[in-house]
Structure 1
Amino acid sequence: MNSNHLLLEEPIRMASILEPSRPSYFPSMTKIVGTLGPKSRSVEVISRCLMAGMSVARFDFTWGDAEFHQETLENLKLAIKKTKKLCAVMLDTTGPELLVVNKSDQPIPLEADSFVVLTPDQEKEASSNLLPINFSGLAKAVKSGDTIFLGQYLFTGSETTSVWLEVSEVKGDDVVCLIKNSAVLAGTLYTLHVSQVHIDLPTLNDKDKEVISTWGVKNNVDFLSLSHTRSGQDIREAREYLSKLGDLSQTQIFAKIENVEGLVNFDEILQEADGIILARGNLGIDLPPEKVFLFQKAAVYKCNMAGKPAVVTRVVDSMTDNLRPTRAEATDVANAVLDGADAILLGAETMRGLYPVESISIVGKICGESEKVYNQDSYFKKTVKYVGEPMSHMESIASSAVFNFKIT
């Protein structure tokens, strides 16, 4: 058997790896969602993000007021006119998110093997042994031994500001926790996540409804990212609310899966939602790390078969502070595309990172290279088998158009 035959048997030709990457003026088919924020809200930077491949701009209402986001959106409109690049608008809700309240904005050092009390009394000052939170029902939701995570990791990707806590005891409305690792909480915005515990708060809260009915309606947003979606009923209620507003009846709802509840009810959520966002930041806390990739593969496959977009998050965290992604991150992006992901969502990398344009550019390049070796024939056969034959008239026309285009 000669070497030429061996090369033909390889799924990817080794020589092709040394060929030049696809030129940037051929954008990847995988869409890139960029979160706009402090480091990416000027007309100049947004214009460069659009040219680099961003096709959806995400506005995260976990932080910042409507005025701040409106100014950013107006800059996006100017950038779209300047670059002649289309870009959709996604409104990301807060949902039942638990936050640490640090009014003083002073750094809070937490020492391993010491104790800290989580209290719903937001009038108290945050300190190394007392942390006010925005949820009064935590004491009823947790028990001794439960794991609680808090920190800015979900936003910045920095483990130096992440803290793991173990519930020691419950005293009235307060929760006493053992600190498992030392860290310094620096800043005002810290999320708190309780592993695999139901939080009795509405998925679409009053603040979300106010933002949607004012900012969302005013700007006729294209997508609503429904944070912490836990059931199909969450989607139905959100859609009913949008339909009452009238102007947003055509807005698509993307369910953000962030916990085990969303995983357990995934099939009914997929049936109701227009698309799925795999929020791997929270998922990586609610699930054991070694299980996240299994959920990603299963969820993306289900989305592919249902014909609904799958969006993967948290891919190049290190680019928040670095010009290039790690090798593992680059491979992660590629594997997400090869799994069948339709879009990649960038959070802190573009919102407050040092290299928003470069993050979009390199992710786009990785997606493009992955698409070059994606097995379209295998995907087509799997889809046809799942959908069943005969195809509908419209599906047949679409399939023939794509097939003939590929041949030519």
Structure 2
Amino acid sequence: MQGASHMLLEEPLRLASVLTPAKPKVFPSLTKIVGTLGPKSQSVEVIQECLTAGMSVARFDFSWLDAEYHQKTLDNLRKAAQNVKKLCPVMLDTLGPEIQVNNSTGGPIEMKAGNHVTITPDVSKAPSAEILPIKFADLAKAVKKGDTLFMGQYLFTGSETTSVWLEVVETSGENVNCLVKNTATLAGPIFTFHVSQVHINLPTLSEYDKQVISTWGSRNSVDIISLSHTRSAEDVRELKAFLQSHDLPDTQIYAKIENSEGLDHFDEILKEADGIIISRGDLGIDLPPENVFMFQKTAIHKCNLEGKPVIVTRVVDSMIDNLRPTRAEATDVANAVLDGTDGILLGAETLRGLYPVDAVSTVGRICAEAETVYNQPLQFKKVMWHVGDPMPHEESVASAAVGSAIKVKAAAIVVFTFSGRAARCSIFTR
């Protein structure tokens, strides 16, 4: 084997063993699995099964449903965790500067390719195929002719039958006239509205988010906040100050990168945040599809070198309706692990999917298999080269422990710690 770029995957003995039964592992999967809890995963019984299947973190998405619903779900999570004797951190996902369309009529709206539709801030108008009201008054100031807009209930699933692609034709006062580019049926009570690569003058930490964090988040001492649509390091600093003022100093902030603005300021955001979530669904419509993979690989590499956890989203969308993922999705999960991702986030798969438990267990098995061929020694050398000399005391101790563990093929490193920092140093030194 020549060169540091070769992976352990190239070992012929390992490839020859693909069809043989996997050996039992001390830990089923080291890659963390974040499960979003909701309508299909709210009961104590289903949450217990998800925890047993490998769910490591429970995500509560406040862009959907209310605090009362999420409180009931969290209470069920605590019962389930106690029943299976497993700790499970709580992640609160903020709404952020998301523009939504309330479908007051509740009925489906048929959009036909080639037709025109007007986007208006006049929310007194009933949504229809000819006019769609949004809760944002400055859209006409932000967009220009030729800009791309997306709208749909499940906008970021990649299903073009439930989301519509619009092109700006002209602006008139506060209204925006658009050409419908594809035939689609908009259904459901709320549609998400996204403007591709255009700055939306709304705060990243909305007043709604502040209210949720100061009440539900503070009352439940949430462990992690996923800051949706993070666009700058200042967004993270603002949330840090807000958490300090509401007696949540230990709550970690994971910056969710969802658009080109977050990508442009990624390095500064990484330094401020405790972790990164690569929201590939949103990025997949804000960026050309061929550019998403490069950002994912680059971002994971930077997070690994900085010792910050990184989570990838939108991995097994087909499992929303099917018992098995596609071959491409399974390979995608494994490649994310081989790139160095620390976690996989399941959204709709566990929130409203038909097979939430199977989604968790399937992703866990793929991650565990990929981990067996992950080149840990090479990753350790990369981190050591990046940190350089002189090395901080804690990192020096952690690197010595990890180096020894690699040499003796230890199954685990037991760390005695008060704050958890020493354990995190050991984890991200790999």
Into which bin does the TM-score normalised by the smaller protein fall?
over 0.9
Task: Indicate conservation of the 8 Å contact 1:139/1:170, yes or no.
Answer: yes
Secondary structure of the corresponding residue to residue 18 of structure 2: helix
Letter in 2 for 1:187: G
Residue 33 of structure 1 aligns to a residue in which SS?
strand
Partner of 1:17: 18
Aligned-residue offset at 1:168: 0.7
Question: Which amino acid in 2 is paired with 1:218?
Answer: R
- Distance in 2, matches of 1:25 and 1:352, equals 31
In structure 2, the partner of 1:228 is 229
Name the CA distance, whole Å, in 2 between partners of 1:130 and 1:108. Answer: 10
User: Given that residues 101 and 131 in structure 1 are in contact (C-alpha distance below 8 angstroms), is that contact kept between their aligned partners in structure 2?
Assistant: no
Structure 2 counterpart SS, 1:193:
strand
Counterpart in 2 of 1:185?
186
Inter-partner Cα distance in structure 2 for 1:143 and 1:316: 35
Change (3 A) 1:100 1:24: farther
Report SS of the residue matched to 1:17.
coil
| Equivalent residues of 2:277, 2:313 under 8 A apart | yes
Paired residue for 1:366?
Answer: 366
Letter of the aligned partner of 1:352 in structure 2?
A: R
Q: Quote the residue 1:4 is aligned against.
A: none
> What are the superposed Cα offsets for residues 296-332 of structure 1, whole Å, 9 maximum, x if unpaired?
0111111011100001000001100010000000010
- Runs of 5+ in structure 2 lacking a partner? 1-7, 409-430
> Which residue does the alignment assign to 2:337?
337
Q: How many Å separate the matches in 2 of 1:10 and 1:131? A: 54
How far is 1:27 from its partner? 2.2
Structural mapping, 1:1-400, within 5 Å: 10-12=10-12, 13-21=14-22, 23=24, 26-154=27-155, 158-246=159-247, 248-400=248-400
- The percent identity for this pair of structures is 65
CA deviations over 1:212-266 (Å, ceiling 9, x no partner): 00000000000000000000000000100110011x1110000000000000000
Write the deviation string for residues 277-308 of structure 1: whole angstroms up to 9, x where unpaired: 00001100110000000000111111011100
- Counterparts of 2:127 and 2:26 in 1: how far apart (Å)? 50
The count of corresponding residues between Structure 1 and Structure 2 is 400
> Which whole-Å deviations, capped at 9, do the CAs of 1:144-201 have from their partners, x for residues lacking one?
1000011133465533102110001111111111000000011012111111000000
Larger deviation, residues 380-389 vs 324-333: 380-389
Structure 2 counterpart of 1:354, which letter? L
Distance 2:33 2:9 in 1: 33
How far does the alpha carbon of each residue in 1:122-141 deviate from its partner, in whole angstroms, 9 at most, with x for none?
Answer: 12111111111111111111
Shift in Å, 1:25: 7.1
2:4 corresponds to which residue? none
Q: Which moved more, 1:117-126 or 1:13-22?
A: 13-22
Alpha carbons 1:259, 1:286 under 8 Å: kept = yes
Q: 2: CA distance between counterparts of 1:23 and 1:124? A: 60
Q: What whole-Å deviation, never above 9, does each CA across 1:315-365 have from its counterpart, x for those lacking one?
A: 001100010000000010011111110000000000000010000000000
Greater than 6 Å deviation, 4+ residue runs: none
- 1:271 is paired with a residue whose SS is helix
How far apart, in 1, do the equivalents of 2:47 and 2:23 lie?
23
* Cα deviations by residue, 1:43-88 (Å, 9 ceiling, x for unpaired): 0000000001001000000011100000000000000011111100
> Is residue 196–residue 285 contact of structure 2 (8 Å, CA) maintained in 1?
yes
| Structure 1 Cα separation of the partners of residues 23 and 39 of structure 2 | 31
Q: Which moved more, 1:23-32 or 1:217-226?
A: 23-32
Are the counterparts in 2 of residues 93 and 225 from structure 1 also a CA contact under 8 Å?
Answer: yes
Q: Distance in 2 between matches of 1:129 and 1:22?
A: 59
What letter corresponds to residue 127 of structure 2 in structure 1? A
CA–CA distance in structure 2, aligned partners of residues 174 and 392 of structure 1: 57
Structure 1: segments with no counterpart, 5+ residues = 1-7
AA at the equivalent of 2:19: L
TM-score (norm 2): 0.91
- What does the per-residue CA deviation read over 1:367-388, in whole Å, with 9 as the maximum and x for residues that have no partner? 0001000011111111111111
> 1:50, 1:362 → 2: CA distance?
13
**1:323, 1:355 within 8 Å by CA — same for their partners in 2?**
yes
Q: Is the 8 A contact 1:155 1:347 kept in 2?
A: no
State the distance in 2 between where 1:220 and 1:76 align: 14
Q: Matched residues in 2 for 1:67 and 1:190: separation?
A: 22
Question: Distance in 1 between the 2:158 and 2:80 partners?
Answer: 28
